[in-house]
Chain A
Amino acid sequence: MDARALAALAANPGCRRRALLDGAGIDKGALARALGSPASFGQSQFAIQRGHSFEARVTADRGEALVRLLHERLRDGSPAPAPGGVDAPDLTAAGPQGRTARTALALREATAAGRWAVLDHPMVSLDVAGSPAFLEPDAIVVHPDGSWSVVEIKSFPMVDGSADPAKVGAAARQSAVYALALEQVAARVGELKPDGEPGPDGGGAARTARVRHQVLLVCPKDFSNLPTAELVDVRKQLSVTRRQLTRLTRIEDIAAALPEGTTFDLRLADDGRTATRPVDELTDAVDAVDAAYAPECLAACELAVHCRARSRGAGAVESLGRGVRGELGGLTTVEAVLAAALETDAGPTGDPAVDALRRAAALRAEALAAPGAAVCR
């Protein structure tokens, strides 16, 4: 599971289906294809190319430009980093566990060193429902005071200092996941401090590792390919993700409520792509766990098209939008709402939602019955 998936979970915390499938590491895209409602998620190769080349450009000079951008944005009066004053530790190691360990070690050393350091594509792990998820932030900057900043490099433009709010929001949620993982590393580094050897200058113990709650968002400036950056406060996203992840531990409870023998195995054929499991059987398995579908899911979840079809099939009012439910009281299906609204001869029911609906239906019918008639004077 990557940071995007973890962040998307936080957007719809009530969805048990997604929590279970993500927690179990199931490929929802393949599942959706096997169910016959594939999601149209995909990225244009032009966008991918641009993203890669912009990132390469930003981190080209061993991160010095990046640290300069960060220092400019901090405006805290600290001295600017001198040329050559930025460390860029080597993070190559075998396997995700190896890279995570190497990153933790590099973070510890860099914190103790009391200099600027840039970790390019480090790897950190986060405990998700009892199993580790390995995450790869774009970069982490270690400040001379021992604090760490998450850096997120995106290729959407920042025109005149502002960018698309939806994209900035997504980047902030993603960064919050990294910051959360880093906090766990920081806690471990802090624990090691007392009996660990002090830094080379003997001052390592004085600096405590901490994760800054402002992440640096780096984007192309206006219509050029020059980088510009802004600090984004992610405290809110951080607390949402943290709470969501603690809720995720209840996956065992969700799983325990499933019928015995439920499996999402697609029974892939020998080519490793074609699912051979009957669709009905698979649909039943998916339906065994509740979903909380809302139209917002379409942009965030591979299974959304399937959930939408089920939600519409059941006539759920949420398929028209999350806010719709609020005015309808205990009425949860389109059929029930229409039945309540069109019942005309009955008197007041005492249920405010039903009375308001009848009034609305009557007013709407009255206005539609006389189209073009002069608006009453």
Chain B
Amino acid sequence: MSLITTLARMEAVRDGRARPVATVRHRHLSDRPLVFVPLTTAGEAGAPLGALVGTDRDAPRLLVVPQPRNRDLRFAFLAELAEETLPYLDSYADAVDLEERKETDPETGKKVPVQVELCADAPQLLVPSAAGVAFVRLLGRSMRFRRTADQDPDTPYPAPARVPLLGRWLTHYGERSRVPGSSLLLSLTELLGRHWATGQSNLEDQHLGSLLAWIDPPAGVTGPEAALRAESARDAGGQLLCPPAGPATDPAFDNKLLAPAIARYDAARAEVGGGVAGGEARLRLAENGLRELIASQLRPTWDALWHGVDLLRELPPGERVAERWKRDRWSFTGHRDRVRAGEPPQPKRDDAVTAAQKLAARETAQAQLEAQEALDDPLVMAGRRLAGEAFAGEVTEVEMAWSEAKVPRPRPLVTVVTEDRPQLAEQVKLYRVMADGRTQTGEFAGAHAPGALVVRLTGGMGRGKTPEPGSVPEPGDRTCWTLFEHAPRGGPELPDAESTPWTHGGPPEAVMPGPAPDPVTEEDYL
């Protein structure tokens, strides 16, 4: 945590409510996000208990697994989830823009421009917390290797159609969420935590209810009081007033309410199985009871999540957010193409080359995100200035100078007076954003006096002997120079899979067989 954030947290302690740590919104927010609030069964991996899902805040769809140990009921849940989610994803797949991209021609080996499709917008998935993101990944993993009866008639427990497809999409979204700055799958706690500092620790901020209580406490209550209430207030029956944002449920809820309700459901089901008169009605009753119970745990989180979305929408988006969202659109389009091309599901483990590529891409994305957030937001830039990675100040003097090449180029010397203390050495490269949005490069050329730094401009002035008008700052202008690049690029390209070096296991021996489905057992619960 930087000193500026620490300070913001302390201001929040003093004021009794959260303080901003960003002046603009640093992530893309869709106009029509798909919100997914899942609950899972304690102790069972990938056994969902229920979920609220939908794009309409007033009409979420409630999905419930009345007996999480029953495979058929779980499959029914996943089928319903697919029914709700896949049409939403598909609705973005066909509206495309055409983009020009350079591709290597396989015959000539030359780079030639080709027209490729880029989806005009991409679907966005919102979950309450970081644990929700992990659950999306887990659900994706549990579904994508399932076989349907169409794919393999001999498969012992066929999954409903489209469930494996949903698994692949959720896997893609889960994987994409690990790329810094990406916005296809976002958790609200992370989003809110990026823009506000509360008077509590990062760990406590993982609780959506308590985080929101700090940011927007109810009238007449201070942030810490509201947060404490959200965290631990219980009713007379010992139930939390603000249920956890999941996917894990509160143990007191499990033991006191859920377990008896599931037992009633099981008993009614046994009665129906045994042909007891009136069993059907009791089963319906038990199922409705369970639905209400699970909805009571989900609905507060659903409302809190939308409340958070409202708060975030009040912030203006950062200038470069759309640029990052475009990369998300590429990611969505790429996966759409892989699905359409009939490629197999993502492997359980990445091979060496894919893993190295993903890592490199994430490192580049991290560097770009850090640079872009600073350029978009003076408050983030303030942090970089404090860290000595940037400086801002007024231009006091401009001295024209030229390089000593055969064709002399303009190399004006600009003196900037600043109170910042950047970590500079002779000839350190410097960057600034010009009025037209382009980046101008410069280098540090010494200091006249403490706080009067001289920058030699090295670029952005056109091709002529005299700089283009407006490309050289004038005395009285305020400029902000950074020591980091504005558009950092990744490293060199990685070798093809066939030339994987021995350090990374060497070339893969043969074509990998398609992923094997997970082994299934007669009963798959414990």
Chain A interface (Cβ < 8 Å from any Cβ of B) = 38, 40, 42-51, 53-54, 57, 155-157, 159-161, 220, 222-226, 295-296, 298-299, 305, 312, 315, 317, 319-321, 323-324, 327-328, 334, 337-338, 341, 356-357, 359-361, 363-364, 366-368, 370-373, 375-377
Contact = CB atoms under 8 A, between A and B. Distances in A.
Given A44-B251, A375-B381, 14 more contacts: A42-B251, A47-B43, A49-B43, A50-B43, A54-B526, A225-B523, A295-B202, A295-B204, A298-B204, A321-B203, A324-B1, A357-B3, A367-B23, A375-B378
Nearest to B232: A40
A155 B6 CA distance: 38
Given A44-B43, A361-B7, A223 B478 contact: no
A45 to B, nearest CB: 5
Contacts of A324: 1, 6, 9
30 contacts: A42-B252, A44-B249, A45-B254, A45-B259, A46-B259, A49-B43, A155-B43, A155-B526, A156-B45, A160-B349, A220-B526, A223-B142, A223-B524, A320-B6, A320-B10, A320-B199, A321-B201, A334-B10, A337-B7, A341-B10, A357-B3, A359-B386, A363-B4, A364-B7, A367-B23, A367-B379, A375-B377, A376-B479, A376-B480, A377-B479
A157 to B, nearest CB: 4
Contacts of A49: 43, 526
A359 B20 CA distance: 18
Q: Is the interface of B mostly helix, strand, loop or mixed?
A: mixed
Given A364-B379, A372-B316, A376-B480, A225 B524 contact: yes
Nearest to A56: B526
B432 interface: yes
A364 B20 CA distance: 10
B61 to A, nearest CB: 24
Contact of A223 (B45, B316, B473): B45
Contacts of B383: 363
B46 interface: yes
B451 to A, nearest CB: 13
A334 B316 contact: no
A42 B250 CA distance: 8
B275 interface: no
Contacts of B504: none
A366 B386 CA distance: 12
Q: Among B201, B254, B259, which residue has the most Cβ atoms of chain A within 10 A?
A: B201
Contacts of B45: 156-157, 159, 220, 222-223
Nearest to B375: A375
Interface in B142-175: 142
B382 interface: yes
B287 interface: no
B38 interface: no
A212 B44 CA distance: 31
Contacts of B20: 368
B519 interface: yes
For the complex of A and B, the 10 pairs showing the least CB-CB separation, nearest first, are A47-B43, A44-B42, A157-B45, A42-B251, A44-B254, A295-B201, A50-B43, A363-B382, A367-B378, A376-B480
Interface string B334-358: 0000000000000011000000000
A222 B42 contact: no
Interface string B162-191: 000000000000000000000000000000
A292 to B, nearest CB: 15
B360 interface: no
Nearest to A219: B45
A360 B7 contact: yes
A360 B386 contact: yes
A363 B43 contact: no
B382 A364 contact: yes
Nearest to A305: B232
Contacts of A40: 232, 240, 250, 252
A363 B3 CA distance: 11
A44 B232 CA distance: 17
Q: Among B138, B251, B392, which residue has the most Cβ atoms of chain A within 10 A?
A: B251
A361 B6 CA distance: 10
Contacts of B1: 321, 323-324
Contacts of B11: 338
A376 B385 contact: no
Q: Is the interface of A mostly helix, strand, loop or mixed?
A: helix
B201 A320 contact: yes
A312 B200 CA distance: 9
Interface string B206-246: 00000000000000000010000000100000001000000
Interface of B: 1, 3-4, 6-11, 13-14, 20, 23, 41-46, 138, 141-142, 199-204, 224, 232, 240, 249-252, 254-255, 259, 316, 348-349, 375-379, 381-383, 385-386, 392, 432-435, 473, 477-480, 518-521, 523-526
Contacts of A376: 378, 392, 478-480
Q: Among A356, A360, A368, A375, which residue has the most Cβ atoms of chain B within 10 A?
A: A375
Given A305-B232, A368-B23, A360 B3 contact: yes
A53 to B, nearest CB: 5
A155 B381 CA distance: 46
Contact of A364 (B8, B201, B519): B8
A220 B8 CA distance: 44
Contact of A377 (B255, B316, B435): B435
A315 B224 CA distance: 13
Given A44-B42, A323-B1, A377-B433, A368 B379 contact: yes
A185 B376 CA distance: 63
Contacts of A328: 6
B433 A222 contact: no
B247 to A, nearest CB: 13
A49 B8 CA distance: 45
Nearest to B249: A44
Contacts of A338: 10-11, 14
A317 B13 CA distance: 10
B382 A320 contact: no
A4 B21 CA distance: 38
A323 B5 CA distance: 12
A344 B482 CA distance: 26
A57 B524 CA distance: 13
Given A226-B521, A368-B20, A376-B378, A321 B202 contact: yes
B204 A371 contact: no
Q: Among A223, A298, A361, which residue has the most Cβ atoms of chain B within 10 A?
A: A223
Nearest to B421: A359
Contacts of A312: 13, 224
Q: Among A222, A319, A338, which residue has the most Cβ atoms of chain B within 10 A?
A: A222
Contacts of B254: 44-46
A303 to B, nearest CB: 14
Contacts of A375: 375-378, 381, 433, 480
Contact of B7 (A160, A224, A299, A357): A357
Contacts of B376: 375
Contacts of B42: 43-44, 46-47, 50
Given A223-B46, A372-B23, A372-B316, A43 B251 contact: yes
Contacts of B8: 364
Nearest to A159: B141
A370 to B, nearest CB: 7
Contacts of B473: 377
Contacts of B479: 376-377
Contacts of B240: 40
A323 B479 CA distance: 34
A88 to B, nearest CB: 22
Nearest to A362: B419
